[in-house]
Amino acid sequence: MMKITRFAKLSFLVCAALLAGQAAQTAQTAHAQDIGLTEPMTATAPQNARAAALVYLPITVRAPAATVANGDFEAGRTAWIEHSNKGALPLIRTTFTGGLRPRSGAHAAWLGGVYSDIQYLEQMVAVPSNQSYLAYWHWIASSDFCGYDYVSIRANGAEVAKYDLCSSTNTSAWTKKTFNLSAYAGQQVMLQIRVRTDSSKNSNFFLDDVAFQAGTNAATSGADDGRAEAEIQVESFTQDAPAEKPMSDLPEDAASALKPE
Ligand SMILES: [Ca+2]
């Protein structure tokens, strides 16, 4: 009788272990399907019922950021690397020449305004596969002829767009630009917005609300707050106007230096 009882107990434990193992395997297969694995995960069937208790750890897949960090510059001098060969920093500012106001919020970027300089803003971005057009708003204020001062867009050091800063491209308002970066869709790239000036005739490039969007006509984030109509009248800039942007953050001096006579 005692032997039969022990045998019954043993049989029960074996059956329990087999059932538990099968249940665990089924659960693993279902879980594998839940997280998109084509092949079920393999695991050794537990040797007893206690071992069948499984601990599922969450798997988090982080999608790349779909936006340019601090694209509206409202976080101040963060996320972007600011560069000027002549040390004419900061590029990200709250005050500008000629009464110009940021397109959104209180911050925008001011590149140029200094002779014979190379200035840029750059940051690593993930170009979204479904929003691979770079969009931003610029305001060009130049007294130069075309062909001497430029703005260019670079991705991983390669120039993907370039256009003139000159009196005939002056915008007299915040103007939207878009660039097709679909060649970099789904990739991490060092995005650089770069201005190069020569040794005469001042050029300024103001920038705000940088973002990725789905096409050339999609709306960008950062609503126009209605302050785009600044008093700046860049057409009257002359070669005689002092060109140097102050090395320290003295925006009043910059404004007076670049105001028309
Ligand atoms: Ca802004």
Note the pLDDT of residue 199: 95
Question: Which residues, 6 or more positions from 185, have their beta carbon under 8 angstroms from its beta carbon?
Answer: 127, 128, 129, 132
Q: Name the residue among 223, 132, 242 with its Cα closest to residue 180.
A: 132
Alpha carbon of 209 to ligand 1 centroid (Å): 6
Alpha carbon of 72 to ligand 1 centroid (Å): 4
Q: What is the pTM of this model?
A: 0.64
Instruction: Provide the β-strand partners of residue 124.
Output: 190
Alpha carbon of 164 to ligand 1 centroid (Å): 23
DSSP 189-242: EEEEEEEE--SSS-EEEEEEEEEEESSSSSPPSS---S----S--GGG--TTS-
* Identity at 202, one-letter amino acid code: N
CATH number of 81-258: 2.60.120.260
pLDDT tens digits, one per residue of 193-247: 999 999 999 999 999 999 999 998 766 544 444 333 333 433 333 333 334 444 3
Long-range contacts of 62-65 (CB under 8 A, 24+ apart): 64/126, 64/128, 64/188, 65/125, 65/126
Give Cα 16 distance to the centre of its chain. Answer: 56
Mean pLDDT of 127-135: 96
Alpha carbon of 182 to ligand 1 centroid (Å): 25
Note the pLDDT of residue 142: 95
Alpha carbon of 153 to ligand 1 centroid (Å): 19
Average pLDDT over the chain, rounded to whole?
A: 74
Instruction: Provide the β-strand partners of residue 92.
Output: 109
Strand, helix or coil at 161?
Answer: strand
pLDDT tens digits, one per residue of 65-119: 458 999 999 999 999 999 999 999 999 999 998 889 999 999 999 999 999 999 9
Alpha carbon of 242 to ligand 1 centroid (Å): 26
Cβ–Cβ < 8 Å for 216, 227:
no
Q: Name the residue among 72, 34, 35, 60 with its Cα closest to residue 224.
A: 72
Statement: residue 173 has pLDDT above 90 = yes
Q: Which two tokens stand for residue 45?
A: 């069937």
The confidence band for 138, taking pLDDT boundaries of 50, 70 and 90, is very high
Cβ–Cβ < 8 Å for 69, 134:
no
CB atoms within 10 A of CB 109: 25
The confidence band for 64, taking pLDDT boundaries of 50, 70 and 90, is very low
Mean pLDDT of 117-127: 97
Alpha carbon of 193 to ligand 1 centroid (Å): 16
Q: Name the residue among 22, 10, 16, 73 with its Cα closest to residue 50.
A: 16
